[in-house]
Structure 1
Amino acid sequence: MSYYQPGILATPVPPQARHLFFALESVEALPLAIERLMALVDGKSAVVGFGESLVQALGVQIEGLRVFPALTGVGVDNPSTQHALWCWLHGEDRGELLYRSRAIETALAPALRLVQMNEAFRHMNGHDLTGYEDGTENPHDEAAVAAALVSEGADGLVGGSFAAIQQWQHDLEGFNALPSQAQDHIMGRRKSDNEELDDAPISAHVKRTAQESFSPEAFVVRRSMPWIEGDRAGLMFLAFGFSLNAFEVQLRRMSGLEDGITDGLYRMSRPITGGYYWCPPLKDGRLDVRALHIA
Structure 2
Amino acid sequence: MEVPAPQPVLSPLTTASLFLVLTVDPGGEPVVRELLADLAGLQRSVGFGHPDGRLSVVAGIGSACWDRLVDGPRPAGLHPFRELQGARHRAPATPGDLLLHIRAARQDLCFSLGSEIMSRLRGAVAVADEVTGFTYLDQRDLLGFVDGTENPVGRAAAEAVLIGAEDPDFAGGAYVIVQKYLHDLDAWNRLPVEQQERIVGRRKLTNVEIDSPGSHVELNTITGPDGRERQILRDNMPFGSPGSGEFGTYFIGYARTPEVTEEMLRHMFLGDGPVSHDRILDFSTAVTGTLFFVPSADLLEDLGAEEDAGTGEAGSLGIGDLRSS
TM over 0.5: yes
Aligned partner of 1:209 in structure 2 is: 220
Match of residue 20 from structure 1: 20
| Deviation by residue 1:137-185 (Cα, 9 ceiling, x = unmatched) | 1122111111111012566511101001011111111111111110101
1:246 Cα offset (Å): 0.1
User: 1:254·1:262 contact (CA, 8 Å) conserved in 2?
Assistant: yes
**Separation (CA, whole Å) in 2 of partners of 1:216 and 1:39:** 39
The aligned counterpart of 2:207 is 194
Backbone CA RMSD of aligned residues = 2.5
Per mean C-alpha deviation after superposition, the further-off stretch among 271-280 and 99-108 is 99-108
Q: Any idea what the Cα deviations from partners look like across 1:33-76, whole Å, max 9, x if unmatched?
A: 32133323368611100001111324542221111111001211
CA-CA distance at 1:257 after TM superposition? 4.5
Give the equivalent residue in structure 2 for 1:243: 257
Q: Which moved more, 1:227-236 or 1:54-63?
A: 54-63
Greater shift in the superposed pair: 251-260 or 134-143: 251-260
SS at match of 2:177: strand
Query: Quick one: structure 1 residues 196 and 93, their matched pair in 2 at CA, closer, same or farther if it must change by over 3 Å?
Result: closer
Output the amino acid matched with 1:91: A
Matches of 1:279 and 1:36 in 2, distance apart? 15
Q: Distance in 1 between matches of 2:89 and 2:214?
A: 14
Unaligned runs of 5+ in 1: none
Q: Relative to 1, partners in 2 of residues 1:154 and 1:139: Cα closer, same or farther, differing over 3 Å?
A: closer
1:95 maps to 108
Q: Which has the higher helix share?
A: 2
Q: Is 1:280 the equivalent of 2:295?
A: yes
Distance 2:302 2:291 in 1: 19
Question: Counterpart of 1:37?
Answer: 36
Pair 1:178–1:234, CA change in 2 (3 A):
same
1:51 aligns to what? 62
Q: Which residue of 1 aligns with 2:281?
A: 266
Contact 1:37 1:107 in 2 (8 A): no
Residue number in structure 2 paired with 1:218: 230
Residues 87 and 216 of structure 1: CA distance in aligned 2, closer, same or farther (over 3 Å): same
How far is 1:24 from its partner?
A: 1.5
Counterpart of 2:5 in structure 1: which amino acid? Y
Q: TM-score, normalised by structure 2?
A: 0.81
Aligned residue identity for 1:210: T
Structure 2, unaligned runs of 5 or more: 44-54, 306-315
Deviations 1:186-206 (A, max 9, x none): 1011111111112x1x22101
Q: Which moved more, 1:219-228 or 1:108-117?
A: 108-117
Mapped to 1, the partners of 2:89 and 2:24 lie a distance apart of 30
| Amino acid paired to 1:75 | R
Query: How far apart in 2 are the matches of 1:111 and 1:155?
Result: 31
| Separation (CA, whole Å) in 2 of partners of 1:252 and 1:87 | 25
TM-score w.r.t. length of structure 1: 0.89
**Counterpart-to-counterpart distance in 2, 1:3 and 1:71:** 34
Instruction: Find the aligned partners of 1:183 and 1:73 in 2 and give their Cα distance.
Output: 22
Q: Structure 1, residues 222-252: CA drift from partner, whole Å, max 9, x if none? A: 1111111331111101110011000001111
Q: By how many angstroms is 1:21 displaced?
A: 1.1
Judge conservation of contact 1:24–1:54 (CA < 8 Å) in 2.
yes
Question: Following TM superposition, by how much is the alpha carbon of 1:210 offset from its aligned partner in structure 2, in angstroms?
Answer: 1.2
Counterpart for residue 77 of structure 1: 90
Give the superposition deviation at 1:113. Answer: 2.1
Paired residue total = 289
Identity of aligned residues (%): 26
Pairing 1:4–2:6 present? yes
Q: 1:122 to 1:288 in 2, by over 3 A?
A: farther
Q: d(CA) in 2 for partners of 1:117 and 1:130?
A: 21
Letter in 2 for 1:10: S
Amino acid of the structure 1 residue aligned with 2:127: L
CA contact 2:222–2:263 (8 Å) conserved in 1: no
Task: Quote the offset at 1:2 in angstroms.
Answer: 7.6
